[in-house]
Chains A and B, each alone.
Chain A
Amino acid sequence: MAAKPGTASTTYSPVDPTHKTKPSIFTDSDWVRPDSRGFQQCRPAFFRTGAVNSASGSAYAEFGNTKVIVSVFGPRESKKAMMYSDVGRLNCNVSYTTFATHVRGQGSDNKEFSSMLHKALEGAIILESFPKTTVDVFALVLESGGSDLPVVISCASLALADAGIMMYDLVTSVSVSCLGKNLLIDPILEEESCQDGSLMIACMPSRYEVTQLTVTGELSAPNLSEAMQLCLDACAKLAQIMRSCLKEAASAAEE
């Protein structure tokens, strides 16, 4: 039988009591990351375009356990209530599946990420190329494994490229977490939950321009500049992977 809405709140997810206390290794001077990466090493990135056939363009990205799908629709008719506009509009939405997180969530829209995604992409898209119309960028986080927003941003720019929307450059995004004295690039969920501060950069690597920069928490000035450089370097490498993914898709389509 299907659950009645009232009973849903009375269930709980069984927890593992041994995991309640967070491992204290993060504060020690020498420790390894849970997935045994180096501090300045990103997770292996996997991209694929054309994941959703009914969209004008789409992309799937997988960074470790973080799995994201982005569909792009349009340029299509703007909502009726919208005023006339010389430039195109960009509409972004990020939502999570109910099973994305370890404890079952509600699968609702993430308003904060939606507006962050919008701001990160807006500067890179040539909005003049589609006046009066709207491009919709919808992202669904299938599984959340840390650094969700940077993955969504990179994946979205790849989906936009797949849809043939004109951009100045691909937008790539990477985040860095600061734990004590250490800077960790591309943090996973566990690391994000005990970070002291973090920095996220979305940039257009070929133009060496930043579209969005977010700093939260505690970061010392030298750490900040080091973290920025780390992110920018990683973004440049990420762009190469994304570019080769697009090239592969294009050459496969030709055959």
Chain B
Amino acid sequence: MGLPNASEDLSSEMEVDAFRRLFPLRYFERHLTESIRPDARPLRKARDTTIALGAVASADGSALAKIGSTTMLAAIKMEVMTPSLESPDEGCIAIDFHMPPICSPIVRPGRPAEVAPVLSKQLSDTITSSGMINLKELSLVSGKAAWMAYLDIYCLDADGALFDAALLSAVASFSHLQIPVVSLDYDGKIVIMSEEQKEENSETKPVNKEKRKLTLSTIPFSLTCILHKSYILADPTAEEESIMETLVTVVLDSSGQLVSLYKPGGSVLVYTSAVQDCVALTRQRVKELQNILDDAISGMEID
């Protein structure tokens, strides 16, 4: 913005890479006027998205989600807790989002990224308010024992739209979750039942024979968009996020309810029409993501 004329003149002589580094905003705006992005995407198209279920063998449920090169690994470990007095029939979910130093040049060991706790909070808010999981299904013995589902999401590669990828991996790992069959032992502790015990009908009875999978009622999916002037760019990369600062994240669930509309500041104001556009884009994206998730699940069942 500082030297618009100077950069205009230079752009014809300078190498593309140098121009991209020196005048990133102008570089992007030149693309935007042609309705294309530097990675050859149309403005409102999301990157290729894949889900792989069961990526972590040591966890009870896990998923690897990739949006472009942004990669998230989510895994759930089930532990037993004593439910609180107010809600004796409910389990609990603890969500933590980690950005290890491998994921981005900005994160250094010992100094966790600023956004990590914020994203953790956003993710657990979204999953709680979507009502996707009925906490009653996590109950084992009323008032005595219930499941605590520890969901840990690791960002392996950070290239923009972190929340979208993290939410997708979280949702996918819940749909992959297989709750172990457990029984109550004589000390009142919950123990895992071995294969032989299940078959030989011993006096120890499983406490959760039917409740092996969670019923996910409405699944939330999200789309992050960049607003720049009157342009809307869906699913930004890290480079785009660093240059154009106004981000809007819309979360819709599979029944079309608005779970979250998140816009923390940013230099561009959103008007009603832009909100409507973002919501419409998210609607399309929810369908895409739902299909990708369904494919991943049916792919697992065949195996």
Contacts and interface: CB of A to CB of B under 8 A. Distances in A.
A58 B158 CA distance: 13
Contacts of A15: 191-192
Contacts of A12: 79-80, 189
Contacts of B109: 93, 95, 109, 138
Contact of B190 (A14, A19, A55, A144): A14
A158 to B, nearest CB: 14
A2 B157 contact: no
Interface of B: 56-59, 62, 69, 71, 73, 75, 77-82, 92-96, 98, 100-105, 108-110, 120-121, 124, 128, 135, 148, 150, 152, 154, 156-159, 180, 182, 185, 189-194, 196-197, 238
A13 B102 contact: no
B93 A16 contact: no
A211 interface: no
A73 interface: yes
A142 interface: yes
B62 A99 contact: yes
A83 interface: no
A104 B77 contact: yes
Given A53-B157, A55-B102, A16 B57 contact: no
Contact of B80 (A1, A3, A11, A55): A11
A62 B191 CA distance: 31
A46 B159 CA distance: 25
Contacts of A58: 102
A231 B252 CA distance: 55
A38 interface: no
Nearest to A58: B102
B133 to A, nearest CB: 11
Contact of B124 (A2, A13, A104): A2
A109 B110 contact: yes
Given A99-B56, A101-B58, A143-B56, A51 B156 contact: yes
A132 B154 CA distance: 32
A18 B71 CA distance: 37
Q: Which of B56, B93, B189 counts the most chain A CB atoms within 10 A?
A: B56
Nearest to B95: A2
7 nearest interchain CB pairs?
A3-B94, A71-B102, A53-B69, A11-B79, A99-B75, A138-B101, A16-B192
A76 interface: yes
B73 A142 contact: yes
A54 B159 contact: yes
Contact of B100 (A16, A76, A140): A140
A212 interface: no
B158 A54 contact: yes
B152 A99 contact: yes
Contacts of A10: 81-82
B96 A98 contact: yes
18 contacts: A1-B128, A1-B135, A16-B192, A17-B191, A18-B194, A51-B157, A52-B103, A54-B69, A54-B103, A54-B157, A54-B158, A95-B101, A97-B75, A98-B98, A99-B59, A104-B79, A139-B102, A142-B73
A102 interface: yes
A138 B101 CA distance: 6
B157 A98 contact: no
B35 to A, nearest CB: 25
B238 A54 contact: yes
Contact of A97 (B154, B190, B191, B197): B154
Contact of A16 (B59, B73, B194): B194
A138 B238 CA distance: 20
